[in-house]
Amino acid sequence: MACDKAGKHGGKAKAKRSARAGLLFPVSKALRDLKKLNTRHVTVETEAAVYTSAVLEFLAAEEALDKIANLSTGLEGHIEQDTKRAIKEICKKIKRQMKVINSTQAKALLEQMRIETIEIPTDDKEPKKSLLQEKAYKPDCQLCKSKKVETAEMQTQIDEVPT
Q: Can you give the residue ranges of every domain in the chain?
A: 17-121+130-158
Q: Please report which residue ranges of 75-141 form alpha helices under DSSP H.
A: 83-93, 95-102, 107-112, 131-136
Per-residue pLDDT band at 39 (split at 50, 70, 90): confident
- Using CA atoms of 89, 93, 95, 98 in order, give the dihedral in degrees to the nearest 10: -60
**Nearest to 61, CA basis, from 122, 111, 102:** 102
pTM: 0.43
pLDDT in tens, 99-143: 665 555 556 555 655 555 444 455 555 555 554 455 555 666 666
Reported as half-sphere exposure (CB side, CA atoms, 13 A), residue 58 has a value of 7
pLDDT in tens, 3-26: 555 555 667 778 888 888 888 889
